[in-house]
Amino acid sequence: MSNYHIKNLEEYFQVYRKSVRNPENFWEEIAEEHFLWRKRWDKVLDWDFTKPEVKWFEGAKLNITENCIDRHLVTRGNKTAILFEPNNPEEEAQHITYNDLYKRVNKFANVLKSKGIKKGDRVCIYLPMIPELAISVLACARIGAIHSVVFAGFSSNALATRINDSECKMVITSDGSYRGNKTIDLKGIVDEALRECPTIENVLVAKRINANIQMKVGRDIWLQPLLNEASEDCEAEVMDAEDPLFILYTSGSTGKPKGMLHTTAGYMVYTAYTFKNVFQYKENDVYWCTADIGWITGHSYIVYGPLANGATTVMFEGVPSYPDYGRFWEIVEKHKINQFYTAPTAIRALAKEGLSHVDNHDLSSLKILGTVGEPINEEAWHWYDDNIGKRKSPIVDTWWQTETGGIMITPIPFSTPTKPTYATLPFPGIQPALMDAEGSEIKGNQVEGRLCIKFPWPSMARTIWGNHQRYKDTYFSSFENKYFTGDGALRDEVGYYRITGRVDDVIIVSGHNLGTAPIEDAINEHPAVAESAIVGFPHDIKGNALYGYVILKDTGESRNQENVRKEINQIITEQIGPIAKLDKIQFTQGLPKTRSGKIMRRILRKIASKDISNLGDTSTLLNPEVVQGIIDEAL
């Protein structure tokens, strides 16, 4: 039996037990057999959660790009590494082979070097989902520069904050981006941001939309002419296991964004191993994750995890609604996608459009479906299962975080029986614990608590850039000797985990803790409901009461809203109990969402509380325009 590739439930349990009994030995075997090391480690693991400090494979030397590219050249040089599908379906897809990728990454790395970028320097990447994004990430890793990718939907303010926090020397951007039938002036946003970024020396500009943009003399440089001149060979920088690989910002519940720092060897081993198992990747499969590389999902499961396994990974530049809501399914058919990994929010958006966009595409290549980023409600799960997977493709509901680097709780497809809305079982090496409010671990099954992890895993973030104290306070101070995820979870009668949502989203009504996710699930069961969000608002007697924002499906029929309100509360009463009934229901056209599709409850909470004087920064929302509409309806 190989630990590396789990094929059935019995194997999963064997591997899991081994990973917990002797973690060092377990990870050592995986690291030994499947990667290219310039020097072997002296010690597998060194850790102390009180500092906190975690080191994996100390003493080892490697370069992650040699693992993601060079070592595949002999066996799969002509295999497609990155399959680029453009925004416009009329434009041809690009098949970038491992041989091509090797040359393009090396050229890019040489360009970075020629502009003075060295090991340890921070490079901000602000690009749309075009090949240069993946290539520039890998080029940084090739020379040991630390990449900080900022999602190209963030505003100039958000970009400037991130550049300044990690003192980046360079920005890599493009002359603009395509998004559906629109273009976005990325370079203009960069110019605006850079007015307050003193550490930036150069801006490399890729050409994508042929926009007529301003180039600041001495600072801004077109990328292509530099690439044309650059050599195709670039010696990989030999990195220490714990050398930083990248910074990725994630928003905290308070304060400025946290620059999560990930390091080299542990991140590589863990993302590769999880990718292989969670997607059961086979040599000729075509894998597609619809995330943006600006998020952790894209880092770990578009770039590093798939390439470390020699996979073909799809990069899609566009949006699910352009030219119509069938775009995802058209791409699945066109490239014969085998594994499809997306977000619940996308599934719900597509489900709302009905089946006409699905039924005219051949989805028979699909073997495995995945979701990530938020709890998936039961209705969306079944829609995905019935209409996309045709009940033959297991759905892997993968729970993890920017901070965890890789997938932590997930079914292993074809091994772990799935259960709607459950992320199911911990991945090998992951030791979850549910904690009560007093700080004790809750043992046994059919229990609920705060989700912690009690033992280090290789891909955990090592610190918050420039603020180790905040790292300690946020993740290691709530529960002694444990990493606190900030999520609540329950463990069912067989030990399956279900993530109930952020603990900060728990609402206490008359002394009862209510998770927003299960109530939303119940509301979404109503046939007229497309999506919903629950927040708490102050109530004289109960402490908090529940306020529901509900989007109705657009079926063209008129409805008696009072009846729908009653029916929703009836469903909630049936599924959870009268305690979870909503005091107020506001029918609305949209919900404020972050760029990663999460509902911004902070704003909804304020509106529900009629406290709209300071809604905070709404510029990083996906759809800031909906906020005023919600306020107008509420008042």
State the residues that interact with ligand PRX by CB under 6 A.
250, 296-297, 372-375, 397-402, 423, 485-487, 499, 502, 596
Nearest approach in angstroms of CB 20 to ligand PRX is: 22
- Minimum CB separation of residue 397 from ligand PRX in Å reads 5
Helix (H, G, I), strand (E, B) or coil at 307: helix
Nearer to ligand PRX, 205 or 368 (CB): 368
Indicate if the alpha-carbon torsion angle 114, 115, 116, 117 is positive or negative. Answer: negative
Query: Tokens representing 185?
Result: 């002036």
Six-digit token pair at 613? Answer: 């004087």
Contacts (Cβ under 8 Å, ≥6 apart) of 611: none
**What does the DSSP assignment read for 30-89?**
HHHHH---SB--SEEEEEETTTTEEEEEET-EE-HHHHHTGGGHHHHTTSEEEEEE-SST
Q: What are the backbone angles phi and psi of residue 564, rounded to the nearest 5°?
A: -60, -40
Separation between Cα atoms, residue 630 and residue 593, nearest integer Å: 13
Q: Are 152 and 177 in contact (CB under 8 A)?
A: yes
Q: Fill in the DSSP letter of residue 511.
A: T
- Judged by beta carbon, residue 7 or residue 419, the one nearer ligand PRX is 419
- The least CB distance from residue 155 to ligand PRX, in Å, is 18
Q: Which residues, including other chains, have CB under 8 Å from residue 502's CB and lie 6 or more apart? A: 486, 487, 488
Residue 86 CB, shortest distance to ligand PRX, in Å, is 25
What's the burial of 446, exposed, middle or buried (CB within 10 Å: 0-12/13-18/19+)? exposed
Q: How many residues does the chain have?
A: 635
Q: Which lies closer to ligand PRX via its Cβ, residue 288 or residue 325? A: 288
The 3-class secondary structure across 248-272, one letter per residue, is EEECCCCCCCEEEEEECHHHHHHHH
Q: What is the DSSP string of 281-304?
A: --TT-EEEE-S-TTSHHHIIIIII
183 vs 294: CA distance, rounded Å: 18
Token digits for 161? 């904050």
- Among candidate residues 609, 583, 442, 580, the one with its CA nearest the CA of residue 512: 580
CB of 485 to ligand PRX, least distance (A): 6
Which residue lies nearer to ligand PRX by CB, 213 or 599? 599
Query: Strand 258-263 to strand 286-289: parallel, antiparallel, or no bridges (unpaired)?
Result: unpaired
- Closer to ligand PRX at the Cβ: 57 or 476? 476
Kindly list the distances between the CA atom of residue 364 and the CA atoms of 195, 275, 338, 410, in Å, as whole numbers in the listed order: 51, 22, 9, 24
Q: Is 545 or 604 the residue whose CB approaches ligand PRX more closely?
A: 604
CA 377, 383, 384, 385 torsion-angle sign: positive
Q: Smallest distance, Å, CB 470 to ligand PRX?
A: 16
CB nearer to ligand PRX: give 274 or 569: 274
Distance CA 256, CA 157 (A): 12
The residues, any chain, with a CB within 8 Å of residue 60's CB and separated by 6 or more, are 37, 39, 40, 41, 42, 240, 241, 265
What is the rounded distance in angstroms from the CA atom of residue 290 to the CA atom of residue 287?
A: 10
Min CB(517)–ligand PRX separation in Å: 8
Minimum CB distance to ligand PRX, residue 574 (Å): 24
3-class DSSP string for 72-85: HHHHHCCCEEEEEE
Output 126 or 381, the one with its CB closest to ligand PRX. 381
Q: Which is nearer to ligand PRX, 105 or 517 (CB)?
A: 517
Distance CA 328, CA 321 (A): 8
* Least distance CB 148 / ligand PRX (angstroms): 16
Residue nearest ligand PRX (C-beta atom): 402
**Distance of closest approach, residue 506 Cβ to ligand PRX, in angstroms:** 12
Q: How far is the CB of 296 from ligand PRX (least distance, A)?
A: 5
Nearer to ligand PRX by Cβ, of 310 and 394: the residue is: 394
Q: Which is nearer to ligand PRX, 305 or 486 (CB)?
A: 486
Minimum CB distance to ligand PRX smaller for 326 or for 449: 449
Closest approach of ligand PRX to the CB of residue 423, in Å: 5
Alpha-carbon separation of residue 44 from 31, 101, 352 (angstroms): 10, 31, 49
- Cβ 280 to ligand PRX shortest distance, Å: 18
* Measured distance CA(107)–CA(226) in Å, rounded: 9
What's the closest the beta carbon of residue 487 comes to ligand PRX, in angstroms?
A: 5
The nearer residue to ligand PRX, 72 or 348, going by C-beta atoms, is 348
Give the SS3 label for residue 116: coil
Closest CB 432 distance from ligand PRX, rounded Å:
13
Query: Residue 297 or 345: which CB sits closer to ligand PRX?
Result: 297
* Cβ-based nearer residue to ligand PRX, 310 or 515: 515
